[in-house]
Amino acid sequence: MAIQTSLPPFPDNVPTHPLLVIDYNLLLAGDEEEIAQLWKAATALGFWYLKNHGVDEDVNQMFDMGAETMALPFDEKMKFEQGDDGVSFGYKAPGANATDETGSLDTVEFINVSQDDALAWPRQAHREYPSTVNARMEHTIAPFIRKSAEVNRVIMDILNAKLGFPEGTLAELHRLDEYSGSEARCIKNPPRPGGISEEKAALGAHTDFGSLTFLNNRLGGLQVMVPGTVKWQYIKPLPGHAVCNLGDAMYIFSGGILKSNMHRVVPPPGAQGHFERWSLAFFTRPGESVVLRALEEKSSIVAEAVASADDTTLFHSNSTSKEWFARRIKNQRTKNQKASCCSL
């Protein structure tokens, strides 16, 4: 059941994209240089490594929860499938989502547990989960969600100040006591027999829908497309470092100052490709009633960014967070595929 502990290293002949390393302890201490580094990462690529976040032990237990869940019989997992109607919480079977516009199927399976369900447990906020999830809701999932939500809140408060918003503006849009699409996700990607083709993504190119993602992985496979380039580049997993990235909601709230960058998952490179790839994410997403639009009236910096943008359609969307996520999740499903899979 346990996930392999001795894994081959990330090959050193594969080009990677270096990310800035941000020290969470220094952020907590209000270190100005570290805050400046975070701002640089958030406004350039929207991705960075985070060390000293203190969530590693919870992450390991979440991987055990994921392994226990994926080991259930397929029919049992399918009782909790997320379905085709724009609900993200629950189990997602391999092949349920498309990875490109030609309809290639994804190979990842995952279990998504809602923040609201974990915090309300044993009451149900949104839905039921497999027994393996229920068994770990109180001692594994809720603590992981609380801690990662707190890490994301600390980061968000810093970005809030840098954007010139009144104190607590972004926090108010991500209250723990309003229902939201925030969720923990454990992903399993099987090794691909017959070799590795980078061209067939395991998880298609996308930007994250929400505000801030706290991601942990052990094997390579995550890639980013750096703006202004046309080549996908690997992000190398570093022990003890999470990868954080901003999602579309933060891009919109900030009038495009904060970046939500394209990424995808391909089979791990080199010898790592023979192993199952597991990853674990926590997604902070805005409360269901929050309207996704640039907060121009709250900050002159954001107002200026919107005023100088070429296309402001996204900044004036009248979608609530709830509508926005339902549409994005629905559009990914193989069954709902029309012309495009990955566009906003």
Tokens read off for 187: 């992903």
For position 187 contacting ligand AKG by CB under 6 A, the verdict is yes
Query: H-type helices in the chain, by residue range?
Result: 24-28, 32-44, 56-70, 74-78, 115-120, 131-136, 142-162, 169-173, 248-253, 300-307, 321-332
Least distance CB 235 / ligand AKG (angstroms): 8
Tokens read off for 261: 């960058």
Least distance CB 205 / ligand AKG (angstroms): 10
In DSSP terms, 264 is beta-bridged to 223
For position 208 contacting Fe ion by CB under 5 A, the verdict is yes
Q: What are phi and psi of 105, to 5 degrees?
A: -95, 145
Least distance CB 245 / ligand AKG (angstroms): 8
Of 213, 153, 142, 181, the closest CA to residue 285 belongs to 181
Q: How far apart are CA 180 and CA 89, in angstroms?
A: 11
Least distance CB 220 / ligand AKG (angstroms): 9
Write the Ramachandran bin of 255: left for phi over 0, alpha for psi from -120 to 50, otherwise beta: left
Q: Looking at 37, 112, 261, 279, which residue binds ligand AKG (CB under 6 A)?
A: 279
* Cis preceding-peptide flag for 122 (omega within 30 of 0): yes
In DSSP terms, 105 is beta-bridged to 98
Least distance CB 97 / ligand AKG (angstroms): 10
Task: Give the number of C-alpha atoms closer than 13 A to the C-alpha of residue 65, restricted to the C-beta side.
Answer: 30
With CB cut-offs between 5 and 8 Å by kind, which of ligand AKG, Fe ion, none does residue 27 bind? none
Least distance CB 245 / Fe ion (angstroms): 7
Using the contact rule CB under 6 A, the part of the chain among 125-133, 192-200, 215-223, 301-309 near ligand AKG is 215-223
Tokens read off for 236: 């190398």
With CB cut-offs between 5 and 8 Å by kind, which of ligand AKG, Fe ion, none does residue 185 bind? ligand AKG
For position 215 contacting ligand AKG by CB under 6 A, the verdict is yes
For position 263 contacting ligand AKG by CB under 6 A, the verdict is yes
With CB cut-offs between 5 and 8 Å by kind, which of ligand AKG, Fe ion, none does residue 265 bind? ligand AKG
With CB cut-offs between 5 and 8 Å by kind, which of Fe ion, ligand AKG, none does residue 217 bind? ligand AKG
Residues near ligand AKG (CB under 6 A): 185, 187, 203, 208, 215, 217, 222, 263, 265, 279, 281
Residues near Fe ion (CB under 5 A): 208
